Amino acid sequence: MYPTWRWYGPNDPITIDEVSALDIRGVVTALHHVPNGEVWSREEIRKRKKELGELPWSVVESVPVHEGIKQNSAAAPQLLKNYGKTLEHLAAEGVTTVCYNFMPVLDWTRTRLRVPVPGGTTVALDGLDLIAFDIFILARAHAAEDYPAELVELATDHFEAMSAEDKGEVTENMLKGLPGSEESFELATFKQAIAPYLHISRAEFKDNLRRFLEELVPVAAREGIKLTVHPDDPPWPVVGLPRIVSTLDDLQEITEMVDDPANGLCLCTGSLGAREDNDLPAMARKFLDRIHFVHLRNVARSPHASFRESGHLQGDVDMAAVVGELLRAGADVPYRPDHGFTLFDDRKRQTYPGYSLYGRMRGLAELEGLRRGLSANRPA
């Protein structure tokens, strides 16, 4: 394992000069300015590599999967060809690990982005916030039927107790654009975006992922690319949207859809760790030969499908056990400190939620101490 750092390009509030001062071996970045579905040109890839200076481009995160592919629309065949061409261009420029996700519409979901912690803030998903948003603010048809009756009752009381400011904050956070992008949703456009998925079953959605893999894993294998699918965040359905990368069984099924080393996994300990029934050390052990990229992040779980992002060595994921399993493989796999508290001067600059400088630096220091300590104590 070796440490990397996610950088969002020239518009990132954290400069590449600051990144270059960190004890890392590579950068995780993407061409966020290229519209989803379009081919990444070799010229644009070279331009980004030049912007990194002496730091290598270790991982692409992400080449986004267009909604047309996820929905298997009429445009899917051309969109798949474009994706394959992008993989070819990346390989030609020496960038050979590509992370992607197959979450519809929402990349990650949090309802609170400024939860106090000593010296700063963190982000959290409050399950009652989410249910209240779905039923009463989004007003999705038949939404209440997707939740246990006791949770609907609790969410109803929760919604009635929320202030106008609370409701506005949760709505804004649910509709917020993704890090690195300029897009965000209005409530009406969000309803339009999720509408097609409300008629796609989980089994049909899996078939759409299978089509994606059957088309692109052979391209990746030919070009020397390692594809890595990122888990769902959170790893359960959100506002009626299907989730298919959430459990050990999901990961097993995905690796078997196209049984090739190029069809790999991104082990995100924070995303998968939000589920109490996910055993992260066991997952790391089972998929050692298919994990090509690692996100190390921790969460503190709470009732009603809720969690907050904790310190990297605190929380409910046994980080030492996970890292110990990953080190057993002996592979030179990139990892990054995923998210971090907003601390110190980062409270004055507009960083993306979870993507502060100082909070991630703290996480990087903790994780590198853990990794190096465990490595030093491994049997020769």
> Could you list the active site residues?
230, 268, 295, 338-339, 355
DSSP states of 30-95 = --TTSPTTSPPPHHHHHHHHHHTTTS-EEEEE--PPPHHHHTT-TTHHHHHHHHHHHHHHHHHTT-
Choose among 228, 204, 231, 199: nearest CA to 216.
Answer: 228
Q: What is the C-alpha R_g of the chain?
A: 20
Choose among 243, 293, 297, 289: nearest CA to 269.
Answer: 297
Query: Which residue bears the tokens 């980062």?
Result: 346
Choose among 185, 182, 181: nearest CA to 172.
Answer: 185
Which DSSP state fits 122? E
- Please count the CA atoms within 13 angstroms of the CA of 299 that sit on its side-chain side: 28
Judge whether 27 and 51 are in contact, CB under 8 Å.
Answer: no
Query: Which residue bears the tokens 């990229």?
Result: 293
**Distance set, CA 172 to CA 9, 138, 165, 261 (Å):** 25, 12, 10, 40
Angle at 183 between CA 155 and CA 200, to 5 degrees: 60
Amino acid at 183: E
How far from chain centre, in Å, is Cα 106?
Answer: 10
Which DSSP state fits 264? E
Dihedral (CA of 93, 95, 101, 106) sign: negative
Which DSSP state fits 355? -
